[in-house]
């Protein structure tokens, strides 16, 4: 039973079994059964991935990708003719196990350096995500889930294509006007305030516990108050974002500014460095990992704050407004389209900050490790 | 206790700032009233008026404290529907609404932290899970789940699941992530030397987990549980907004904003803050006791 211990061995065995079940059902009744090309290509995938261990390194990676491609084609064909037939489910399970096996093997591949290595790191998560999306699609189609409960990914995609103009207007209103401006103001204010706090030890000892406490509070609850003060349009959303972003950012920056060692500060003193010089040449760079940690936390908070604040009143545009009204009209594909846009915008925003972090704090151990 | 004086003075400064802000925020309304009555307001009269309005733009701290007291102790002790008169919690008291939110929070927190620990164990022990699940766990947090909350609740309503569970699901989603991240870090905290020692003992994987990885993950677990319970509370509150729920702190916020009852909004907000603070403090207490018994107290 040694092959069970190889990576993806259990999944491979399961895949073969599921295919056998599918073939048996196929023999019993041809109606509603996945077609011969699907079963044949899946069988090919199973046999090929059983033999792959014979290949050498480079060949192994290439043939693994070829197997993945065949599996993807079979999965696509399978999603097209969805039925509730048991043989169909057996085939779906076979594809799922096959994809799982691929994920396990992608994860085991020896990592190269540089761009190829970066692509390699993406293989496993992308396969995993694609499998989830595919399962969602297949289950929705086969069970004929009503559109008002859960639309299929393909329907959501069609909706995104059809209503790009509305999505764009909402995106500008919520993300650019509400979240980004609030993020900039809140982060800027927190940075300035942190520099002030840093000059006095008394203030630092007083503000850190209070700031930590306030950062843990449900600040999002101030949204109705902000809407009352600043009106329905984007300034109230930006104000909520400022309030949410300020304390995490403040606490992180103050901690970061205190992160230098006594030895390093002494060195600055022997250079007779002024406060500003010591700040820009030593303490601010040393605080950067902490500041970026705060920026990352704030970036997700900003989008959440801007969207949730719209539930308490907004002009007739914006992601939060659209989500709450379209839920009421049971247009769930539009809701999911907004969520997809929000997720994409949030991930890109986070990714940009992570990139900037790698560029600025290249010296930090957590960035050098890879 | 070295920090007591600085903390107290910062809190006092915040309160003073708040009182100072009350006057200009509410002055407009006070002056309009006076003009309508044909009077001139002296500064002293203006200040007393702004501090005691029915529906101020910014209520003064003592008004919020008064409302908190009235809607908890006074309502339950003497109210017509209060606990002393009927034996059940009054639906106008913050204790009742707080409990509704707290129960959803605790359920979501329990599921979320359990799920988070299980995922972390899987990620640490299985390389495929590490490579495939971890990036998605991170990506899942860039999705504003709070934005999906209304849809999850409406859809679950359509399927026939109502009440506690939908709110708890949102709390779960928000609280599992900090636990996953913290526990992955914690379970990987033992260094190579300690793992090598376990190997010289010929310890099985399960023994390494139970005797080395799990104990050394404890400080990380408690740190992330504190973050998780605060997040779970936020989730439960926001989950009450979209469906127009009638009970819970989120419902109090929403109805307060509909009817312009600012004092009610602020008191609900402070009730939520007190809940969050006491739950975090409770976990801190458990942490201190546990770590001391394990001999890890600092």
Percent of chain B with pLDDT strictly greater than 90: 7
Q: Does A108 touch chain B (CB under 8 A)?
A: yes
**Residue A117 covered by a domain:** yes
Query: Is A353 an 8 Å CB contact of chain B?
Result: no
User: Which residue from B251, B237, B262, B238 is spatially nearest to B59, judged by alpha carbons?
Assistant: B262
Q: Which domain holds residue A109?
A: 2-144
Site of tokens 């939110």: B101
3-state secondary structure B68-89: HHHHHHHHHHHCCCCHHHHCCC
Chain B residues lying within 8 Å of A319, measured CB to CB: 147
Residues in chain A closer than 8 A to B254 (CB atoms): 224, 312
Task: Please check the confidence at residue B235 and state whether its pLDDT lies above 80.
Answer: yes
Q: What φ, ψ does residue B120 adopt, rounded to 5°?
A: -65, -40
- The rounded distance, in Å, linking the Cα atoms of A193 and A210 is 14
Chosen domain end from A120, A144, A168: A144
Q: What is the mean pLDDT of chain B?
A: 80
Of the candidates B145, B266, B90, B130, the one whose C-alpha atom is nearest the C-alpha of residue A107 is B130
CA A300 to chain centre: 11
Alpha carbons A79 and A142: distance in angstroms, whole number: 9
CA-to-CA distance for B42 and A146, rounded, in angstroms?
66
pLDDT for A203: 80
Of A105, A120, A144, which residue sits at a domain end?
A: A144
CB-based burial label for B81 (10 Å; 0-12, 13-18, 19+) = middle
| DSSP for B235-291, written as a single string | HHHHHTTTTT-SSSHHHHHHHHHHHT-HHHHHHHHHHHHHHHHHHHHHHHHHHHHHH
Residue written as token pair 């030593």: A282
Instruction: Name the least confident of A175-179, A267-271, B45-49.
Output: B45-49
Residues A124 and A29 in one domain: yes
Cβ of A210 under 8 Å from any chain B Cβ? Answer: yes
Nearest residue of A to residue B244, measured between CA atoms: A311
Same domain, A42 and A84: yes
Shared domain for A23 and A125, answered yes or no, is: yes
Give the pLDDT confidence of B135-190 residue by residue, as tens digits.
Answer: 677 667 666 666 677 677 777 777 777 778 888 888 888 888 888 888 888 888 88
**CB within 8 Å of chain B, chain A residues 236-295:** none
Per-residue pLDDT band for A29 (boundaries 50, 70, 90) equals: low
Q: Are A200 and A342 in the same domain?
A: yes
B3 with A129: Cβ contact below 8 A: no
Per-residue pLDDT averaged across A93-102, rounded?
Answer: 78
Say whether both A85 and A208 belong to one domain: no
**Chain B residues within an 8 Å CB radius of A323:** 147-148, 150-151
Contacts of A87 (CB under 8 A, 6+ apart): A21, A22, A24, A25, A26, A29, A32, A33, A34
Q: For residue B257, which residues of chain A lie inside 8 Å, CB to CB?
A: 224-225, 227-228, 312-313
Pair (A72, A183) in one structural domain: no
| pLDDT score recorded for residue B113 | 92
On whether any CB of chain B is under 8 Å from the CB of A136, the answer is: no
Q: Among A149, A227, A308, whose Cβ lies nearest the Cβ of B238?
A: A308
- Between chain A and chain B, the number of residue pairs with CB atoms below 8 A apart is 169
For residue A5, what pLDDT is reported?
A: 55
Q: Which of B6, B9, B128 sits opposite A103 (nearest CB)?
A: B128
Assign domain B94-293 to a CATH class. Answer: mainly alpha
Residue numbers in B near A217 (CB within 8 A) = 230, 272-273, 276-277
The chain B residue lying nearest A101, using CA atoms, is B128
Burial (Cβ within 10 Å: 0-12, 13-18, ≥19) of residue A266: exposed
Tell me: the pLDDT tens digits for A198-235?
A: 887 788 787 777 877 777 677 777 888 888 788 888 88
Closest CA relative to residue A84, chosen from A133, A145, A129, A38: A145
Residue A1: per-residue pLDDT: 45
Both tokens assigned to B36: 């309508």
What mean pLDDT do residues B200-220 have? 88
Distance from the Cα of A225 to chain B's closest Cα (Å) equals: 7
Stretch B193-209: mean pLDDT, rounded? 89
Q: Is residue A165 exposed (0-12), middle (13-18) or buried (19+ Cβ within 10 Å)?
A: exposed
CA-to-CA distance for B217 and B253, rounded, in angstroms?
A: 38
Domain count across chain A: 2
Q: Give whole-number Cα distances, A83 to A25, A156, A311, in Å.
A: 13, 21, 40
pLDDT grade, residue B89 (50/70/90)? low
Best A218, A312, A333, A350 member to test B by mutation, with max B CBs in 10 Å, is: A218
Q: Are residues A202 and A229 in the same domain?
A: yes
Rounded average pLDDT over A76-105: 74
Indicate whether A369 pLDDT > 60.
Answer: no
Contact B150 A103 (CB under 8 A): no
A 19-58 residues with CB below 8 A of B? none
Total-model pTM: 0.77
Q: Residue A370: its pLDDT value, please?
A: 46
| pLDDT tens sequence across B34-72 | 778 777 777 777 777 777 777 777 787 888 888 888 777
Nearest beta carbon to residue B272 from set A213, A218, A343: A218
Do A262 and A124 belong together in one domain? no
Round to whole Å and give the CA distance between B66 and B79.
Answer: 16
Same domain as A164, residue A117:
no
8 A C-beta contact, residue A127 and residue A102: yes
Instruction: Write down the domain spans for chain B.
Output: 1-47, 94-293
Q: Is residue A155 part of a domain?
A: no
The pLDDT of residue A368 is above 70: no
Contact flag B136-A125 (C-beta cutoff 8 Å): yes
Minimum mean pLDDT range among A352-361, B3-12, B127-136, B253-262: B127-136
Q: What is the pLDDT of residue B273?
A: 86
Q: Label each residue of chain A as H, E or C.
A: CHHHCCCCHHHHHHHHHHHHHHHHHHHHCCCCCCCHHHHHHHHHHHHHHHHHHHCCHHHHHHHHHHHHHHHHHHHHHHHHCCCCCHHHHHHHHHHHHHHHHHHHHHHHCCCCCHHHHHHHHHHHHHHHHHHHHHHHHHHHHHHCCCCCCCCCHHHHHHHHHHCHHHHHHHHHHHHHHHHHHHHHHHHHHHHHHHHHHHCCHHHHHHHHHHHHHHHHCCHHHHHHHHHHHHCCCHHHHHHHHHHHHHHHHHHHHHHHHCCCCHHHHHHHHHCCCCHHHHHHHHHHHHHHHHHHHHHHHHHHHHHHHHHHHHHHCCCCCCHHHHHHHHHHCCCHHHHHHHHHHHHHHHHHHHHHHHHHHHHHCCCCHHHHCC
| A104, A304, A346 ranked by CB distance to B128: nearest | A104
Per the CB < 8 Å rule, is A350 touching B142? yes
Instruction: Identify whether residues A107 and A24 lie together within a single domain.
Output: yes
> What torsion, rounded to 10 degrees, do the Cα atoms A92, A95, A96, A99 define?
-170
Residues of A in contact with B154 (CB under 8 A): 327
Indicate the pLDDT class of residue A292, thresholds 50, 70 and 90: confident
Inter-chain touch B268–A229, beta carbons under 8 Å:
no
Residue A184 clears pLDDT 90, i.e. is over it: yes
Chain A residues within an 8 Å CB radius of B174: none
Testing the interface with A: which of B15, B97, B128 to mutate, by most A Cβ within 10 A?
A: B128
pLDDT band per the 50, 70, 90 thresholds, residue B244: low
The CATH number for A218's domain is 1.10.3720.10
With a cut of 50, say whether residue A276 has pLDDT above it.
Answer: yes
Distance from first CA to last CA of chain B, Å, rounded?
Answer: 16
State how far residue B143 is from chain A, nearest Cα, in angstroms: 4
Task: Please give the structure tokens belonging to residue B7.
Answer: 């903390």
- Per-residue pLDDT at A129: 81
Structure tokens at B67: 């409302």
Average pLDDT along chain A: 79
CA neighbours within 13 Å on the CB side: how many for A32?
13
* CB atoms B142 and A349 under 8 Å: yes
Q: Do B276 and A218 touch (CB under 8 A)?
A: yes
Interface subset of A 285-314, CB within 8 angstroms of B: 299-300, 303-304, 307-308, 311-313
Distance from CA of A26 to the nearest CA of B (A): 33
Q: How far is it, in rounded angstroms, from Cα A292 to Cα A128? A: 29
A212 lies in some domain: yes
Residue A85: pLDDT over 80:
no
Q: Which pLDDT value is given to residue B298?
A: 58
Q: What confidence score (pLDDT) does residue B43 get?
A: 74
- Comparison of pLDDT for A151 and A79, the residue scoring more: A151
User: Which backbone phi and psi does B161 adopt, to 5 degrees?
Assistant: -100, 120
Put simply, the answer to whether A350 touches B159 (Cβ < 8 Å) is no
Residue B231: C-alpha distances to residues A219, B74, B221, B276, B292 (Å): 11, 30, 15, 9, 27
Q: Which residues of A191-210 are buried (b: 16+ CB within 10 A; e: fewer)?
A: bebbeebbeeeebbbbbbbb
Mean pLDDT of B185-200: 86
Average pLDDT of A44-61? Answer: 68
Position with higher pLDDT, A365 vs B69: B69
Name the one residue in this structure whose structure tokens are 């002293």: B44
Residue B222 predicted with pLDDT over 80: yes
Q: A210 and B14 in contact by Cβ < 8 A?
A: yes
Predicted local confidence at residue A132, as pLDDT: 83
Q: How confident is the model at residue A188 (pLDDT cuts 50, 70, 90)?
A: very high
Boundary (domain end) residue, out of A111, A144, A177: A144
Question: Which range among A14-23, A355-364, B180-189 shows the weakest confidence by mean pLDDT?
Answer: A14-23
Check: complex ipTM more than 0.90: no
């Amino acid at each position: 039973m040694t092959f069970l211990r190889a990576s993806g061995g259990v999944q491979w065995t399961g895949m073969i079994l599921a295919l056998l079940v599918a073939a048996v059902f196929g023999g019993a009744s041809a109606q509603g059964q996945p077609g011969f090309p699907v079963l044949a290509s899946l069988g090919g995938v199973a046999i090929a991935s059983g033999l792959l261990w014979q290949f050498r390194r480079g060949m192994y990676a290439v043939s693994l990708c070829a197997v993945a491609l065949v599996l993807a084609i079979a999965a696509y064909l399978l999603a097209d003719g969805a039925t509730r037939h048991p043989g169909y489910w057996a085939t779906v399970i076979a594809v799922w196990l096959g994809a799982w096996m691929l994920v396990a093997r992608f994860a085991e591949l020896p990592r190269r350096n540089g761009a190829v290595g970066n692509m390699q790191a993406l293989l496993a998560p992308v396969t995993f995500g694609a499998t989830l999306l595919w399962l969602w699609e297949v289950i929705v189609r086969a069970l004929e889930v009503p559109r008002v409960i859960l639309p299929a990914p393909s329907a959501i995609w069609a909706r995104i294509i059809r209503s790009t103009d509305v999505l764009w207007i909402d995106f500008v209103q919520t993300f650019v006007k509400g979240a980004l401006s609030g993020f900039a103001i809140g982060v800027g204010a927190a940075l300035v305030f942190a520099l002030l706090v840093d000059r006095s030890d008394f203030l630092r000892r007083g503000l850190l516990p209070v700031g930590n406490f306030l950062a843990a509070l449900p600040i999002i609850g101030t949204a109705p108050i902000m809407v009352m003060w600043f009106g329905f349009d984007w300034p109230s959303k930006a104000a909520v974002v400022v309030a949410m972003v300020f304390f995490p950012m403040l606490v992180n920056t103050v901690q970061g500014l205190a992160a230098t060692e006594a030895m390093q500060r002494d060195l600055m003193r022997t250079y007779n460095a002024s406060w500003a010089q010591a700040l820009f040449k030593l303490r601010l760079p040393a605080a950067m990992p902490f500041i970026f940690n705060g920026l990352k936390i704030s970036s997700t908070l900003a989008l959440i704050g801007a969207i949730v604040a719209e539930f308490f009143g907004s002009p007739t545009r914006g992601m939060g407004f659209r989500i709450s009204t379209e839920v009421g009209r049971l247009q769930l594909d539009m809701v999911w389209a907004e969520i997809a846009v929000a997720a994409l915008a949030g991930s890109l925003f986070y990714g940009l900050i992570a990139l900037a972090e790698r560029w600025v704090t290249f010296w930090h151990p957590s960035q050098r490790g890879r | 206790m070295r920090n007591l004086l600085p903390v107290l003075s910062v809190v006092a400064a915040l309160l003073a700032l708040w009182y100072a802000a009350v006057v200009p925020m509410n002055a407009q309304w006070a002056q309009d009233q006076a003009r309508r009555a044909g009077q001139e307001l002296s500064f002293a009269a203006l200040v007393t008026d702004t501090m005691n309005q029915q529906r101020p733009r910014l209520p003064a701290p003592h008004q919020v404290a008064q409302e908190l007291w009235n809607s908890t102790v006074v309502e339950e002790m003497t109210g017509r529907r209060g606990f002393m008169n009927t034996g059940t919690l009054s639906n106008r008291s913050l204790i009742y609404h707080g409990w509704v939110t707290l129960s959803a929070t605790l359920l979501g927190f329990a599921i979320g932290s359990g799920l988070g620990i299980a995922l972390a164990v899987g990620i640490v022990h299985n390389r495929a899970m590490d490579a495939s699940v971890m990036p998605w766990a991170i990506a899942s947090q860039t999705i504003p789940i709070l934005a999906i909350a209304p849809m999850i609740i409406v859809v679950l309503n359509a399927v026939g699941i109502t009440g506690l569970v939908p709110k708890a699901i949102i709390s779960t989603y928000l609280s599992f992530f900090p636990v996953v991240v913290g526990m992955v870090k914690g379970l990987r905290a033992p260094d190579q030397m300690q793992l090598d020692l376990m190997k010289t003992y010929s310890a099985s994987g399960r023994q390494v987990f139970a005797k080395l990885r799990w104990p050394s993950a404890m400080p990380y677990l408690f740190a992330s549980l504190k973050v998780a319970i605060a997040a779970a509370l936020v989730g439960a509150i926001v989950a009450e907004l979209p469906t127009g729920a009638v009970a819970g702190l989120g419902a109090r916020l929403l109805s307060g904003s509909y009817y312009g009852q600012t004092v009610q909004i602020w008191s609900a907000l402070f009730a939520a803050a007190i809940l969050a603070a006491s739950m975090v403090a409770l976990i801190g207490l458990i942490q201190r006791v546990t770590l001391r018994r394990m001999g890890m107290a600092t």
